[in-house]
Structure 1
């Protein structure tokens, strides 16, 4: 499934991803500046959280909750990892075993640790304002 969109259409794109996703584990493949975090922010909002969403670049993982306080899920940014062992040391297995949504930026840094049932999302930059998203 493919979508061509601009930032003004993110809420609609988020709804379609949630409706179409084959898994609650989403792996985002995209170059720097393509809008991974911006899209994840729209997804988290659409799923019912009002938490402040930011890239967990330095902390590696952010946790988000629903208005009720119930866990919504976890947002990872693996960009700064130097090895898959670092992901294991942070307890990645435990996070992946949770019932919550999993949002992974830079999953290519940990290829052997990505579950088979993950929903891959590829974002390509078409121009300054337009992106192409592919769910596979």
Structure 2
């Protein structure tokens, strides 16, 4: 699926992505500042998360509960120094927990990512809109 949208349309796009056959692990690929965290917040809103506040840049992972009682993990692996560090922290246990895992900067842990995953690539267009590809 490919879609181009403005920030005003982000919630509708998040709802559309969630209606697709997505996996429990979703990888987000985009340059710094394109809106990965903003889009993840929109996905979380559509799932009924009420208390999502910020990117887990310093903690690496934030845990949220959806309105249906499901657990959602949001990872920001940007500050991770090595894949070994991720393994030592037990990130693989989160990835294989069966809960929804939304992962920013997944290229930091290529060998820990489940084979069954969905990839979302985002690009910012010159007019400020975003182009999103779901695979």
TM over 0.5: yes
The answer for unaligned runs of 5 or more in structure 1 is: none
Match of 1:16 in 2: 16
Question: 2:95–2:113: 8 Å Cα contact kept in structure 1?
Answer: no
- Correspondence for 1:116: 115
> Is the CA contact 1:31–1:124 (under 8 Å) kept in the aligned structure 2?
yes
Residue 29 of structure 2 corresponds to which residue in structure 1?
A: 29
Q: How many residues align?
A: 135
After TM superposition, the runs of 4+ consecutive aligned structure 1 residues lying more than 3 A away are none
Equivalent in the alignment of 1:96: 95
TM-score of the aligned structures, taking structure 2 as reference length: 0.93
What's the counterpart of residue 2 of structure 1? Answer: 2
CA RMSD of superposed structures (Å): 1.3
The TM-score, its normalising length taken from structure 1, stands at 0.93
Structure 1 Cα separation of the partners of residues 66 and 117 of structure 2 = 22
8 Å contact from structure 1 (residues 49, 72) kept in 2: no
Structure 1 Cα separation of the partners of residues 26 and 53 of structure 2: 16
In 2, the alpha carbon distance for the partners of 1:75 and 1:128 equals: 28
The corresponding residue for 1:78 is 77
Unaligned stretches of 5+ residues in structure 2: none
Is 2:44–2:66's contact at 8 Å kept on the other side of the alignment?
no
